[in-house]
Amino acid sequence: MRSIALILAFAMTPAVVLGQDAPAQPANAGITFNSVQFGGGEIFLVPGWEGDAVAPGETSGETNYVLGGFSFGASLFSRIGEVGEAPIYVGWTGALFVGLGESTDTTTYSGNDPLLITGPTGPTAGTIDLVTGSGAATASGTATLTDSTGDTANVTSSASSPPGDNAVAQFSVTTTETGAALVALTTDGAGPDASAFSLIADDNGFALVGVGDLEDTTVTSRTSETLLMTSQKVMFSSPITLDDGWAITPTLGPSYNLIARSVHQETLVDVEEPGGLGDTIPLFGIEHDDNLTAHYLGGIIGASISGPIADGWRFSVGTELGVSGYWADYEGTAAAVIPGVTGISLPGTDDSLSGATLYNRVSGGVTYLDQNGLTLSFGVHVERLGDVPYVQTTEVSSPDADFSGGDTEANYSASGETYYEKSIATGPMWNVGATISLTNRF
């Protein structure tokens, strides 16, 4: 399933990120125009990111988030000759967009559904066995791990609370050369309720299991993104004069665009400690860092129509259609998040993808032409880029996890299996914007 992210860009936004309009050309245009975009706003709809499983058969971390940032654009246009009586112009347009954003998706448990979170692969070898008392405030857990170097860890823990105000919350961690094992337990004699959690991870994979009374335990998937987009294009144009000062201007030329996305995701479990014990058990879980870079090289054709609507003011509306070849690269890393333990890196992922895509744009606006050569433009536009890369996950196999003991027992075993694979996919990106630009003719 692909999630969708809404990105709101504000601050100094150019006329467009992936393609900009040429300034209106007065009939007596001079040699060179210099255009600097001073501000505006953009709303982008882009393909989002996948998350980790938070329960058997489920997917976490749908990334619906707002991204704000800044941008700057500049253009140069020059008259280079004519065909018959029609002038020929060439123009360069460049733009830069930088954005930052974050989204949070929290699952709060309201019953005794089991919890299972895995990485793309399981640990080299290990087991998890958890038991909570049925109708009694007792919990026990055992976690074993043999990491990729052959080093071993074993954690065994138990807890119980007699009737009354005798809550317990505890956790234990043991490390190996390249991994660690954790067991966390809670019991509450006032309930009586109990829960048990365990995590095993090494440089081959990750697994986390929870069982028992998980009431108010939360799994939070947090996604933050840094987005960089640049645009370069060179356009040739030649206005065709109509009646009453109106003109149609066809355009064509090459274009280059870059989209770079750096996404950090973390899925963390916050155990609900009973009896007002506070944050006795720290957060634990898994984090990912995914980096995508996509290059687009192609060409654009377009046309606009413009004409006077008042003294010194012109109205214009135009459209563009582009075709680009693209190539994209993906590199991903992951790590286990375990209290008091650092440096447990999980297997990395890399992938590449290439293809062809379409670009569409519709724009309109008004322009004021000052007698001294200064041009002020106000515009709106809608754009679509057909293929913007994101990271997708594909299920390969199911974890060897047994919850047949109902909501009080869980058993899991690992031997380095692959549960899912991460790769590049593409989806369309839309954006709608309003802009202000200033052009000086000299």
- pTM, two decimals, is 0.83
pLDDT of residue 78: 86
pLDDT of residue 418: 93
How far, in Å, CA of 47 to CA of 37, rounded? Answer: 27
pLDDT of residue 27: 40
Both tokens of residue 126? 């290990």
The low-confidence residues of the chain, meaning pLDDT below 50, are 1-31, 53-64
pLDDT of residue 134: 67
pLDDT of residue 63: 45
Amino acid at 120: P
31 by Cβ neighbours in 10 Å (0-12 / 13-18 / 19+) ranks as: exposed
pLDDT of residue 97: 80
